[in-house]
Amino acid sequence: MPEEYLVAQELHKSFNEQKAVDGVSFAIYRGEIFGLLGPNGAGKTTAIRMMSTVLEPDRGDVTIGGHSVRREADAVRSQIGVCPQELALYEDLSALDNLVFFGRMAGMSGKEAHDQAMARLELMGLSERAKGKVDKFSGGMKRRVNLAVGLMGHPEMLFLDEPTVGVDPQSRNNIYETIEGLRDGGMTILYTTHYMEEADRLCDRVAIMDGGQIIALDTPYELRSQIGEPDKVTLEDVFLKLTGRSLRD
């Protein structure tokens, strides 16, 4: 049996009486890429913010590596890296200085932060632009720096919220390959997207979210098999079948 590394139980969150996340439960196995898939407004970001200790659930709990986000937030934070949907970078600093800054904030020595920053930039194919100011970077390069920040401190688990939105094809491929490489190295990854083909290609298992709830959860292949010949249907078709609506806005 695979080890359940993250367990979410009955998560609820409302904003002004409106339910953003409405009773979500699932488990993520250690070492898998798990996709949270759904249209804009489905509740993906709200769910990821509760799992990564940024937002307190109204009800329910999440454990990561056995630690509760409610009662042991510090222990959870020491195990995770987060790449938020909204880029969190200092535009007037270089890519290297951004990473060093976040490393120092996390308590690393100057040398350790510098060494890790250079290794992360190399992984993201940005070594040559290390000293370039972020405000001169393309959208895709900024996303790659954002991902590099999430990897500072060797997290066991990485949360990626829509890492390929507004990204050119070269950066997108770099991001896919990086995520697969991290998974192959043993990292557990939670990934949100509203691109169905992307989830199909990358994720070991996906949960499809709509209206704050999980409406299906399985491997992409199994989900496709449930509605037709798996090689002939897409996750887009699965969403349409389950909701009667197309995923695209």
Ligand X SMILES: Nc1ncnc2c1ncn2[C@@H]1O[C@H](COP(=O)(O)OP(=O)(O)O)[C@@H](O)[C@H]1O
The one-letter amino acid at 58: D
Give CA–CA dist 120/101, Å, rounded.
Answer: 14
- Least distance in angstroms from the C-beta of 249 to ligand X: 11
Cβ nearer to ligand X, comparing 94 with 164: 164
> Binds 20, which of ligand X, Mg ion, none (CB < 5 to 8 A, cut-off by type)?
ligand X
> Binds 109, which of Mg ion, ligand X, none (CB < 5 to 8 A, cut-off by type)?
none
For 98, the enclosing helix (H) or strand (E) is helix 95-105
Cβ nearer to Mg ion, comparing 85 with 243: 85
Binding site for ligand X (CB under 6 A): 15, 20, 38, 40-46
Cβ nearer to ligand X, comparing 137 with 191: 191
Specify whether the CB–CB gap between 189 and 157 falls below 8 A.
yes
CA neighbor of 46 nearest in space, from 76, 8, 74: 8
User: Directed axis angle between helix 110-123 and helix 95-105, to 10°?
Assistant: 130
Cβ nearer to ligand X, comparing 15 with 90: 15
Residues 6+ apart with CB under 8 A from 88: 146, 149
- For residue 97, the Cα-to-chain-centroid distance in whole angstroms is 23
- Least distance in angstroms from the C-beta of 19 to ligand X: 8
Residue 146 binds Mg ion (CB under 5 A): no
> Binds 187, which of Mg ion, ligand X, none (CB < 5 to 8 A, cut-off by type)?
none
Residue 45 binds Mg ion (CB under 5 A): yes
> Binds 46, which of ligand X, Mg ion, none (CB < 5 to 8 A, cut-off by type)?
ligand X
Give CA–CA dist 140/168, Å, rounded.
Answer: 6
Cβ nearer to ligand X, comparing 69 with 121: 69
